[in-house]
Structure 1
Amino acid sequence: MGKSFTLVQLRYFGAVAKLENMTAAAAELNVTQSTLSSAMAQLERELGAALFTRLSSKGLRLTPAGRRLLLGSQAFLEEADLLYQAVRDESEALAGELVVGIYSPLAPFKAPVILQAFEAAHPNVKVSFHEGDQESLRQALLDGVCEVALMYDLGVGREFERRMLERIPPHVLVSAEHPRAARREEPVSLREFAQEPFILLDLKHTREYYLDMFKQLGIRPETRHVVSGYETVRSYVARGHGYSLLNQRISMKTTYAGGEVVALGIIEELPPIEVSLVRPVGAKPTRKSRAFERICIELYGKASG
């Protein structure tokens, strides 16, 4: 016999899951807190599972069962809306909100371009980008904070499915005043820089990716500065504090701190980074997130071959 939970209960559940607070969710839904609490208790009884962990600070956290329900209910509720539109003979144009995860160093390059293309194709969908590092995006996907994420392949395990868009090789970044910058068209060996100060982009999984390159070549970098901002790395390099390894190339050579940087190709065959669309395995995607994926593939997918 099927369970008898309602669409209203699922919508209430989605609001509570998003805000992680019963009072805030009741205010957003314009219902009393007692009504919302009763609906959540009934939903948990029908499903036979606790959906939230109640914290002492009156906040809430999704349980594993709650995360599974959130991942599955988003597409279900969207289909219910489309059924309503079909019965009323209304347009099935996509509408509503979509939260997409994006790896912070990718955001300045990709987010504005994708957003412009997506809004042109689907003007009734409000897209919000949830920026973070690789680890926080993994957790955001598992917690249902975002449906899909644009991120590197680093640290992405078998609990996720990936659609690779681009492979981006690493490059050496030096100041425009560096002796090697005058021959910028000629690739360099990473070994040439073994004795120079190295500036490391310090993000989880990313730092290991760069440091492993040195290990592959049997050299040890002279790490002078460890910073967490992509543009900070570029600014340090431009001001002559050392060289760095990066993947994304920026057409603008001038940095925030002034001075210019030059990207140099690398002779050694070092592993590229893969930019991928990532979602949890088993999560049924909404039509909005599928539309977002199609836009990304149209913009960047051809670069994957």
Structure 2
Amino acid sequence: MAGDVNFTLVQLRYFATAAEACSMTAAAQQLRVSQSAVSTAVSQLEHSLQVQLLIRHHAKGLSLTAAGSRFLQELKNFLAHADDLAETARGLGTRLSGELMIGCFLSLSPFLLPRLFAGLAEQHPDLRVQAIEGETEELQEALLNGRCELALMYEMDLAEPLTTEQVTVAPPYVIVPPRHRFAKRKGVRIAELAEDPFVLYDLPHSREYFLSLTESTGVSVQPRYRSSNYETVRSLVANGQGYSILNQRPVRDTTYDGGQVVTLPLLDPVPPLPVVLAYLRNTRLTRRAQAFAEFCRELLRGEDRPAEG
């Protein structure tokens, strides 16, 4: 019977810590309690729920059962809201404190995170924000397993359990070396570059986006160089190894190795790439996450190219 289920917040926290540490001993050290206290709390929780959550491996730590993995995923959101409730009970009002873990797509991070962190630190000095920087798959996994509460990313092939809110857009543009025949133009079409070598920013989903973008204009390109590093792509172009198409634009056109690229608006009628806040569908964000989302909206409202600030 559901009414017979009886567990405590302490048991839930001890289980979550043990599950993430994959060890009763490590969990006890983090929680600064005895190992027996952690073990007893987890056993009592399993008894109350009438389900095994952890598999104990002799001298090899712990692993989650399928039920335990799903329970941990739901529990992280519950514990985050429990912290919110505790803040309200202590009468902190609108003063936010504690930690918030967010995700951010690799190529967006250097353009957005410094401004977001600085602005949030001014508005909420007691709020500590940390970021997981990664590709689309890594960020989706972090959202699904509760490692982060929301993520700033491009709206590209996102998983069904996620919902998104667009906060700005990132129009694509072309970069060419300074001595390129089109370097002094005010814009360029992809078809005009069809015979030039192409340098591809090669991240999962990003590569498909850039290649589909060229194909949408009737041009099929075979990249001469590929790199998963944004600055390597820019430096290759600066050194005369081709042209590239990117979305985020630095304030200056100087590359890490001292070279220069020339930025050209793309004249083809291709849509900009939406930048979104993503989080689990049907999940209520904590006050910390809501504050982060609101600051993102304020900072990026009206921007059409986040990198230029």
Corresponding residue for residue 261 of structure 2: 261
- SS for the counterpart of 2:284 is coil
Aligned length: 298
Q: Deviations over 1:145-171 (max 9, x none)?
A: 001111111121331111111111111
**Where does 1:80-95 land on structure 2 (aligned, <5 Å)?**
80-83=86-89, 85-86=90-91, 93-95=95-97
The 10-residue stretch of structure 1 (55-64 or 163-172) with the greater mean CA deviation from structure 2: 55-64
Tell me: CA distance 1:301–1:60, structure 2 relative to 1, closer, same or farther (3 Å).
Answer: farther
User: Contact 1:50–1:63 (CA<8 Å) still a contact in 2?
Assistant: no
Q: Structure 1 regions of 5+ residues with no counterpart?
A: none
Corresponding residue for residue 293 of structure 2: 293
**What is the CA-CA distance between 1:20 and the residue it aligns to?**
4.2
Q: Tell me if 1:66 matches 2:66.
A: no
In the aligned structure 2, how far is the partner of 1:11 from the partner of 1:147? 18
- SS for the counterpart of 1:302 is coil
**What is the CA-CA distance between 1:286 and the residue it aligns to?**
1.0
In the aligned structure 2, how far is the partner of 1:195 from the partner of 1:164? 36
Q: Tell me if 1:280 matches 2:283.
A: no
Give the alignment's TM-score, normalised by structure 2: 0.89
**Where does 1:1-305 land on structure 2 (aligned, <5 Å)?**
1=3, 3-52=5-54, 57-58=60-61, 60-61=63-64, 63-83=69-89, 85-86=90-91, 93-183=95-185, 186-303=186-303
**What is the CA-CA distance between 1:207 and the residue it aligns to?**
0.6
In the aligned structure 2, how far is the partner of 1:51 from the partner of 1:93? 36
Tell me: CA distance 1:302–1:20, structure 2 relative to 1, closer, same or farther (3 Å).
Answer: farther
Tell me: CA distance 1:44–1:195, structure 2 relative to 1, closer, same or farther (3 Å).
Answer: farther
- SS for the counterpart of 2:302 is helix
Q: Deviations over 1:113-143 (max 9, x none)?
A: 0000101111111111111101100000001
What percent identity do the matched residue pairs reach? 38
User: Contact 1:201–1:229 (CA<8 Å) still a contact in 2?
Assistant: yes
In the aligned structure 2, how far is the partner of 1:91 from the partner of 1:265? 47
User: Contact 2:191–2:218 (CA<8 Å) still a contact in 1?
Assistant: no
In the aligned structure 2, how far is the partner of 1:254 from the partner of 1:123? 34
Corresponding residue for residue 307 of structure 2: none
User: Contact 1:176–1:259 (CA<8 Å) still a contact in 2?
Assistant: no
Tell me: CA distance 1:299–1:271, structure 2 relative to 1, closer, same or farther (3 Å).
Answer: same
